[in-house]
Amino acid sequence: MAYSSALPPNKLILGIDPGTQVMGYGLIEVTGSKVQVLQFGVIHLKSYSNHAIKLKKIFDRMIQLIDEYLPDELAIESPFYGTNVQSMLKLGRAQGVAIAAALSRDIPYVEYAPKKIKQSITGNGNASKEQVASMLMQILKIQEVPKLLDATDALGVALCHHYQKGNNAKQGGKSWKSFLTDNPDRLASK
């Protein structure tokens, strides 16, 4: 029997819980079946009254995180449907800016519905933020719960992506060059 001395491949997943007041982020490293938290926190946006400035802050911080950690994939919570249309539009823009930052660095992204994330982490699609945070503390051996649960929500998105291995999710984010290579029939001819 031959043994391979190669280490198991590792993958870095950046999870995002989009928001226009507070945006959570969490970065995990997966090596084989081992999952380790590298970084998690929030982007505070409440002090900015101009929505365009908030979007720029989101983009800038996303680029900083991407350039510092070089994640392999972005997992992001998809917008949920609410009654306030203006809030939904703003949340969608925040999500779009986070995705655009990943795409600008050729990082593929996957969206997950909030219920899917909660189901994946706790076994209950209607779990509270506190229940998700409590389960993540156990799974990821986090010593202290952050003040803002948007950070643990983002870790939940990243861990959900690891558990799902990208299955049953909307894939996006291939580079334009990859898209053209994979779809030569989609090129317009002159």
DSSP class of 127: -
Catalytic residue, from 29, 77, 111, 153: name it.
Answer: 77
Q: Is 106 annotated as a binding residue?
A: no
Backbone phi and psi for residue 63, each to the nearest 5 degrees, phi listed first = -60, -40
Q: Is 111 a catalytic residue?
A: no
Q: Is 144 a catalytic residue?
A: no
Measured CA to CA, the distance from residue 79 to residue 128 in angstroms comes to 17
Measured CA to CA, the distance from residue 21 to residue 138 in angstroms comes to 28
Q: Is 150 annotated as a binding residue?
A: yes
Catalytic residue, from 29, 73, 111, 150: name it.
Answer: 150
Q: Is 185 a catalytic residue?
A: no
Q: Is 29 annotated as a binding residue?
A: no
Length of the chain in residues, anyone? 190
Cα angle: 95, vertex 101, 105; to 5 degrees: 145
Measured CA to CA, the distance from residue 150 to residue 148 in angstroms comes to 5
Give me the active site residues, please.
17, 77, 150
Residue ranges of the annotated binding site are 17, 77, 150
Residue ranges of the annotated binding site for Mg(2+) are 17, 77, 150
